[in-house]
Structures are given as structure tokens and as C-alpha cells.
Amino acid sequence: MTRSVGLIIAESLKAHDIDRLFCVPGESYLGLTDALNDVPEISLVVCRHESGAGYMAIADGLLGKRPGACVVSRGPGLSNAMIALHTALHDAVPLVMLIGQVERRDMGRMALQEQDYSKLLADISKAVIEVNEASQASEAIARGFHLAISGTPGPVAIVLPEDLLDEQSDLPVVPPRAKTLPGPLPEDLQQLASMLQQAKKPLIWPGACLNSEQALADLERFAEVWAVPVCCTNKRTHQFDSSHTHYAGHVGIRTPKRLLDQLKETDLLVAAGERLTDTLSQYYTFPIAPNPQMDLVHIWPDANEVGRVWSPALGMASDPHAVIKGLLNLSPGSPTPERLEWIQRLHTVQKALSEPSWDKVEDGLNFASAICAIDSRLTKDAVITVDAGSFSTFLYRYTHFHRGQEVLTSVVGAMGAAVPMAVAASLRDPGRQVVAFVGDGGALMTGNELATAMRYGANPIIVIADNGYYGSIGLHQDTRYPGRPFESATQLANPDFAAWARSFGAKGYTISTLDQIDQVLSQVFTPCREPIVVHVKCSAHQMSAWRQASRKLNFTRL
């Protein structure tokens, strides 16, 4: 049947399980927005900023266990959306971003908002697919989705010239291409099994590429059967249940020394679908790059990544779930008493660090008090979205995460992810509890997506930790230049966030004192149709769960 390329693209997205497309509209892809009227299976979610659309697509993809998709306009639209490409690339999250382009006859003339995407996105995407032939439109979508999930997952850009979308074609929709999973070599699996049997203090770090429910259930069984403790790696705190006896704590950007000193005794570190990175490896010291101080086994589904920074004792270019399943079919032998003591010791140390104790501070709430009260109200299947900032240290320290929960964030630390991700999560599963945690800085970067929540009936709870500063950066300055002022670069003037929320039609509450916490939270954590914003007036002195500022700050709120 002859129809427009715009319609062929929409049908191709549907064939790839896309039922929700996040966008800010643009004149460069009118042929697609018009065609979507004829594909009712895809809902268009119109956002207030392209970064919001990109973050929502990332969250929707993670929850749907397939790439999320968004569409943005040429030049300026794409420029606003690039933060999502950056996060997807670093976090190894599949994402398909469609981008409008000028008409083909004008290319190279610097026509309105024209940009050469192959150059611009060369270092921030896995591939840029430029569609210049109607006959290749559907094939381009199939290739884009396949590339996004293959090897190291990541973002793919598909560029659609404006005039192409109105061209007619009778070509059929190209069906999705199956994911090809690399499996472990039998001899590598045997070697890993014998390393695990001989190790005195093995440790597992799961990561981005171990994310299906089944994979995480198998990881738990593997930990038990093979007697191996498991850490949650930087911000991926839902991958292993914190109450499990084999849970060995959260290793992230600032891992407390008490835990780190214990973990460093490991003689066999298995990074299972974890890229490692500078932040997780404590800036290349644990494991030491390039030659680790322990036996390192690096499992990642792309041979280019294994051995790129570290020289592992065993590198496996394999799907980590396939490795775990393979090990579950092999015999672990009996664990030694030393090994059992190791598991128990790590669990005890991490547990002590998450005990609900904190210092009282003068200039506002210690955010720990709010976090501990919220923790007991989080459901076992809550979606928790987290922005970048020091406030998140309280969440990662004091929350007792469960495996059925889902933590969504920009692991690489791009601000502005939490609110849009929470909106997307709430749309994906309206009955599920969705709670966003964001600082006062991040809240006003993408908090305008509250309007998107209102328009589409999403109802996340958004907790804003207002310490009056870009606190994380203030603390960095304080560490680098102790005693020197950092207010000029980091202090913020904030609105009344509860009133701000109400101006959108959402509900808004404020917590300023300890005795307001329970009273407010009991209203917040009851079923509600609207989004809810909880404005927590926090201490600036206690910006982090692990340390206070080295000197008295300007406590006057601007």
C-alpha cells in the first residue's frame, strides 16, 4: 500500500514495540507528527524541553526493557536533547532519537537550523543514520533499534529530512532484528568457576548490562549457591536486595572508608556487566588501572570494552547473564569458613553504615531525617528516580533498597534527570509508586515537566531537597580550597517550591522542622491523582550524608 514515509516511520516504530514517543514538536518533522494521527497505538507525549523528552525516553526504555524513543527538531531541538544522548552513551542505555533535518535539496547551504549530525554527534552516539531514500526509511529504523541494543547498548540518532517524510512509498515495514547475545567460551566459564572455587574473598560487582528481572533473580541465586558477596555499583542500588545476607554495600562515587577498607581485601573481583569507570573504581585505584591488585574478571558484552582500561586476569566478551546461568550449572563446592566469615563481615559493615543516625544541625533539616521517614513508606516495587547532587548521598546511604524496586537516574551524573524520568515512569505504570528525589538546583533545570505530568495524568511524588546551594559543587570547592568561600559560585535563590507546584495544579507541601515530617508524609503517601511536590528545607551545612562543610556558611536564604 502506498503511504507517506512519515507513516512508514510511525509503523516501523510500532513494530519495535514503541507505544509512547516523547517529543517537543518542530517544523522539521511535521510529516511524522501528522502521520502519527493514523497510528493510535503510539501516544505522543509533548514535553516542555527536549532534555525532558530525552530523559523520559531513557526511563521509558529502561522500564520497558527495550530502547525508548523520542523525536526532536533539527539544530536547536537536538542541542537541547544532547544531554540524554550523553547519559545513554555513558550509562550504556539503548535509546533511539529521531531528529528532523532540512530538506534534502538545501543540505550543505546552512539552511535554517541545519547541522551536520554525523559530525556533531560523532562522539555522543553509537551511530548517526541519515535517511536520504524513501526505500531505506523502515530499514533505518530496524538498523537503529538493533544497533542500540547490540554489544554495548547506547544511543542511536536517526536523521529525517523534512521533505522525505512526505514522499510516498509502498515498501513494507522492516521487522525488528533479533538481538544477538555473545555467550561465554566454555573454557572461560570453566576458568571462572575454578577461580571462584579457589578465591578466599571473592566479590561481585553487577552493572548496566545485567538488568532483566530474571538476570537479577539469577544473580541472587548465584550469590547464595556460590557463596559470593555482592555490592551494588554506583547508583544501581536496586540490583541486589539490601536485606540479603550476601549484600556487601554500595560502592559509588564516595564510598565510606570503613567499607572500602574491607572490600579492598578481595582477591577476586568479578565485574559482571559493569564498565567500572573512574567513579566506581575510586579514580582508578580499586581496581588499580591498568594492572589490578586482585584478580579481575571483566564481563561485558563487547570485546572492545573488556581490557580497554584494565588488564583483567580473565576477560569475557559475553552477556553477563549467560555467564551467571552457566555458573549455576556448574558445581561450586563447599564454601570455606573463611569465605562465610567474609560474607558476614561485609554485610555487617555495610549495615552499620546505613543505621538511621545523624547529627542535628542548626540551619535546617538534616536531610537524613526525611529520607529515613520516606524509606519506610516506599513500596517494595517503587520506582525511585534520582537527580545528581549531594542530597542523593542521603538516599544511597540510608535507604534499604529492594530488588523489586527500580532506581532510574543518570549514572554519569547529568542533572535534571529525576523529574522527567519520574513522569515517564508514572505514565508507564500508573498504579506504581513513583518517587523522585532532586535538589533545588536540579528541580529548576527540568522541573517544568511537571506541566507534562499534569497534561497526561502522571502522578509522581517529587521530593526536593532545598539546601539553597548547588551543594555538590560547593563541597567540591570546599575540599579543594578549604576555608575559602564558595557561596559566590554556588548559592541559589529559590522559589517557594510548594507554591510553585500548586501553580501547575499539583499538590505542594513544605517540611521545615522535624515534627512536620510524619505529619506531611502521611498526607503525601496516600493515593492521589495529581503529582505531589514535597519541599524539604535542608541544612546547607550538612549538604552530604558523609560530611559537613568545613566552615560556617551564609545561612541566609536568598
Ligand X SMILES: Cc1ncc(C[n+]2csc(CCOP(=O)(O)OP(=O)(O)O)c2C)c(N)n1
In angstroms, what CA-CA distances link 227 with 152, 337, 341?
A: 29, 11, 11
Task: Give yes or no for residue 389 binding ligand X (CB under 6 A).
Answer: yes
Which span (414-422, 427-435, 497-505, 513-521) binds ligand X, by CB under 6 A? 414-422
Among 467, 477, 491, 510, the residue binding ligand X under the rule CB under 6 A is 467
Residue 484 C-beta: closest distance to ligand X, Å? 18
Task: Give yes or no for residue 390 binding ligand X (CB under 6 A).
Answer: yes
Task: Give yes or no for residue 553 binding ligand X (CB under 6 A).
Answer: no
Q: What is the Cα–Cα distance from 418 to 375, expressed in whole angstroms?
A: 17
Closest CA to 272 of 228, 319, 220: 319
Residue 543 C-beta: closest distance to ligand X, Å? 6
Task: Give yes or no for residue 433 binding ligand X (CB under 6 A).
Answer: no
Q: What is the Cα–Cα distance from 520 to 377, expressed in whole angstroms?
A: 12
Alpha helix stretches (DSSP H) within 402-480: 418-428, 440-446, 450-456, 471-480
Task: Give yes or no for residue 420 binding ligand X (CB under 6 A).
Answer: no
Residue 236: partners with Cβ closer than 8 Å, 6 or more residues away: 206, 207, 208, 407, 411
Which span (85-93, 214-222, 347-355, 436-444) binds ligand X, by CB under 6 A? 436-444
Enter the C-alpha cell of residue 361: 544541625
Check: CB of residue 365 under 8 Å from CB of residue 511: yes
Nearest CB to ligand X, comparing residues 29 and 469: 469
Q: Please state whether the peptide bond connecting residue 301 to the residue before it is cis, i.e. omega within 30 degrees of 0.
A: no
Residue 208 C-beta: closest distance to ligand X, Å? 19
The Cβ of residue 541 has, within 10 Å, a number of other Cβ atoms equal to 18
Helix axes 367-375, 391-398, angle to 10 degrees: 40
> How many residues bind to ligand X according to rule CB under 6 A?
21
Which span (184-192, 288-296, 347-355, 467-475) binds ligand X, by CB under 6 A? 467-475
In the bound state, the residue with its beta carbon closest to ligand X is: 439
Task: Give yes or no for residue 273 binding ligand X (CB under 6 A).
Answer: no
Among 441, 460, 508, 531, the residue binding ligand X under the rule CB under 6 A is 441
Nearest CB to ligand X, comparing residues 114 and 375: 375
Task: Give yes or no for residue 473 binding ligand X (CB under 6 A).
Answer: yes
Using only the alpha carbons of the chain, give its radius of gyration: 24
Binding mask 368-387 for ligand X (x = CB under 6 A): -------------------x
Which span (35-43, 121-129, 320-328, 462-470) binds ligand X, by CB under 6 A? 462-470
Q: What is the Cα–Cα distance from 140 to 144, expressed in whole angstroms?
A: 6
Residues from 491 through 550 that contact ligand X (CB under 6 A):
543
The Cβ of residue 361 has, within 10 Å, a number of other Cβ atoms equal to 17
SS3 sequence of 106-134: HCCCCCCCCCCHHHHCCCCCCEEEECCCH
Among 24, 216, 458, 465, the residue binding ligand X under the rule CB under 6 A is 465
Which span (225-233, 266-274, 277-285, 465-473) binds ligand X, by CB under 6 A? 465-473
Nearest CB to ligand X, comparing residues 219 and 386: 386
Task: Give yes or no for residue 470 binding ligand X (CB under 6 A).
Answer: yes
Bridge partners (DSSP) of residue 159 are 99, 130
Nearest CB to ligand X, comparing residues 150 and 539: 539
In angstroms, what CA-CA distances link 6 with 35, 47, 104, 162, 241?
A: 6, 21, 15, 10, 45
Among 312, 471, 508, 531, the residue binding ligand X under the rule CB under 6 A is 471
Task: Give yes or no for residue 240 binding ligand X (CB under 6 A).
Answer: no
Give the footprint of ligand X on this chain (CB under 6 A). 387-391, 413-416, 439-442, 465, 467, 469-473, 543
